[in-house]
């Protein structure tokens, strides 16, 4: 089969490895809009667009160290080389992805500077019928502006989901005279020197950036909707407030009736899933960051030759990409049979119902976190693949709680994996 992979981040590279090395002898073409592999992990000090008019994809900031220990960030069979630290700089992860691509001879399949413009099912809506089935993929060489359309039997979407900012609409936002930016465009704290900054959001980026900006700014307010103050010890020039009610000139009014004056707002409010290249006939809906209709957060129920690798978050990402890629290939090659359309839809509905019962909102439709171990087991067992060792999810969950407990110091923790179910905290 001819398989197209969209994007050469960690997910795309893992897919390419498995497609290209399958005994079934597929042809693999990876389209990457940039001139380098690695996606999110490529630091670029530019924001906006690159020299070819392609939007800057990466949201990486200069000082970033991983927020998960490296012990759970490698690919299976290709872990990150051992050294002292567990939390390592972004450039080391980029090197890992590059080494992995070299090791598995993936680079020869990547067409760089090719931006996918359109993916369309041959035979139109209802898919893989008429005209012999499969997909038309239209790609632009961003250096020359030339477009070309090629035919594929399957498409693996790996375009990432940390590049399109989600910015909530705040009443009075247009009256604010200072600077407003999203964490996607944050690179270093220098521009915040001496400023009074409001950071909206207390997820991993909001917490990290509050801390970093506080090293340069006069004062930082981190606003969030946690019922209680986050217990991490912030420096003295940081305070926490509830959600923003409205902006009024340079005054921020909070829902608890307090107000403050700021000159810069940083939105650490997360990202949106987006697949701008899918034609309407693909029948993919994204509402409140819930991508549908998918089986196991992965395979399009109505077009099972189309998959989306890497949608789940709060996961051991590279292990997940690998498992999803292999699961999809097994279904594609007929080595495993997918359930009926009805059964796949019912399975997806059960999954969402479980989330609703657990009090999760629609934006958590693809969140795994404490559910990740079960998800890995389901995929592995269904497709007859080796299970992900439970120690991976266990260490992920430990690291997530340490992050909340002690944002300032958790990256000094050092872990070692002892066996498939045990890790050791060395420091």
Residue 129 phi, psi (nearest 5): -120, -160
Site string for ligand FAD, 162-181 (x = CB under 6 A): x-------------------
320 binds ligand FAD (CB under 6 A): no
Which lies closer to ligand FAD via its Cβ, residue 93 or residue 247? 93
310 binds ligand FAD (CB under 6 A): yes
DSSP for 189-253 reads SGGGTT-EEEEE--SHHHHHHHHHHHTTSSEEEEE---SS---S---TTEEEE--EEEEETTEEE
Least separation in angstroms between residue 177's CB and ligand FAD is 28
CB-based contact 154:304 (threshold 8 Å): no
273 binds ligand FAD (CB under 6 A): no
Which lies closer to ligand FAD via its Cβ, residue 188 or residue 340? 188
* From 64-72, 171-179, 340-348, 377-385, span contacting ligand FAD (CB under 6 A): 64-72
67 binds ligand FAD (CB under 6 A): yes
CA distance 256 to 199: 17
121 binds ligand FAD (CB under 6 A): no
Residue 94 phi, psi (nearest 5): -60, -40
Residues in the chain: 427
116 binds ligand FAD (CB under 6 A): yes
Burial pattern 25-61, b for ≥16 Cβ within 10 A else e, equals ebebbbbbbbeebbbbbbbeeeeeebebeeebbbbbb
Least separation in angstroms between residue 83's CB and ligand FAD is 17
Q: Name residues contacting ligand FAD, limited to 16-45 (CB under 6 A).
A: 31-34, 39-41
Dihedral angle sign, alpha carbons of residues 404, 164, 292, 362: positive
Contact pick of 4, 5, 6, 20 for ligand FAD (by CB under 6 A): 6
411 binds ligand FAD (CB under 6 A): no
317 binds ligand FAD (CB under 6 A): yes
* From 61-69, 279-287, 323-331, 344-352, span contacting ligand FAD (CB under 6 A): 61-69
Q: Would you tell me how many other CB atoms lie within 10 Å of the CB of residue 381? A: 10
CB-based contact 38:64 (threshold 8 Å): no
113 binds ligand FAD (CB under 6 A): no
Residue 342 burial by Cβ neighbours in a 10 Å radius (0-12, 13-18, 19+)? exposed
66 binds ligand FAD (CB under 6 A): yes
304 binds ligand FAD (CB under 6 A): no
Binders of ligand FAD: how many residues, by CB under 6 A? 32
Closest CA to 160 of 46, 48, 7: 7
What are the distances in angstroms from CA 336 to CA 11, 20, 76, 177, 296? 22, 19, 21, 58, 14
CB-based contact 395:326 (threshold 8 Å): no
Contact pick of 134, 160, 189, 312 for ligand FAD (by CB under 6 A): 160
Least separation in angstroms between residue 261's CB and ligand FAD is 29
Contact pick of 3, 4, 7, 200 for ligand FAD (by CB under 6 A): 7
The site for ligand FAD (CB under 6 A) is made up of: 6-12, 31-34, 39-41, 57, 59-60, 64, 66-68, 73, 115-116, 158-160, 162, 205, 277, 310, 317
């Amino acid at each position: 089969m001819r398989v197209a992979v969209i994007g050469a981040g960690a997910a795309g590279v893992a897919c390419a490895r498995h497609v290209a090395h399958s005994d079934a002898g597929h042809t693999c073409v990876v389209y990457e809009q940039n001139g380098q592999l690695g996606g999110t992990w490529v630091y670029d000090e530019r924001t906006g667009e690159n020299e070819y008019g392609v939007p800057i994809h990466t949201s990486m900031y200069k000082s970033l160290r991983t927020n998960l220990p490296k012990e759970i960030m490698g690919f299976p069979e290709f872990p990150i080389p051992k050294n002292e630290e567990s939390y390592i700089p972004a450039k080391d992860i980029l090197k890992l992805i590059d080494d992995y691509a070299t090791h598995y001879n993936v680079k020869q399949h990547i067409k760089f500077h090719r931006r996918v413009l359109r993916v369309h099912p041959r035979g139109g809506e209802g898919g893989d019928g008429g005209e012999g089935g499969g997909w038309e993929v239209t790609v632009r060489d961003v250096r020359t502006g030339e477009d070309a359309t090629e035919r594929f039997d399957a498409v693996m979407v790996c375009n990432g989901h940390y590049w399109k900012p989600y910015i909530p609409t705040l009443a009075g936002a247009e009256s604010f005279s200072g600077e407003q930016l999203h964490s996607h465009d944050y690179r270093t704290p220098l521009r915040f020197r001496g400023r009074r900054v409001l950071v909206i959001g207390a997820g991993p980026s909001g917490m990290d950036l509050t801390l970093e900006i506080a090293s340069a700014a006069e004062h930082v307010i981190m606003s969030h909707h946690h019922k209680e103050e986050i217990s991490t010890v912030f420096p003295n020039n940081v305070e926490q407030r509830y959600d923003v009610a409205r902006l009024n000139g340079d005054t921020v009014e909070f829902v608890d009736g307090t107000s403050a004056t700021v000159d810069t707002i940083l939105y650490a409010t997360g990202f949106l899933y987006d697949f701008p290249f899918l034609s309407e006939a693909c029948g993919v809906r994204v509402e409140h960051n819930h991508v549908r209709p998918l089986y196991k957060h992965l395979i399009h129920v109505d077009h099972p030759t189309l998959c989306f690798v890497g949608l789940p978050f709060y996961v051991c990402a590279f292990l997940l990409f690998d498992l999803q890629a292999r699961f999809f290939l097994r279904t594609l090659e007929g080595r495993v049979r997918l359930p009926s359309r009805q059964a796949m839809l019912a399975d997806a509905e059960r999954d969402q119902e479980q989330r609703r019962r657990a009090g999760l909102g629609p934006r958590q439709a693809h969140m795994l976190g404490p559910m990740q171990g079960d998800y890995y087991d389901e995929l592995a067992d269904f497709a007859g693949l080796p299970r992900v060792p439970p120690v991976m999810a266990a260490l992920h969950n430990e690291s997530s709680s340490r992050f909340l407990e002690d944002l300032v110091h958790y990256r000094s923790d050092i872990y070692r994996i002892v066996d498939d179910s045990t890790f050791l905290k060395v420091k």
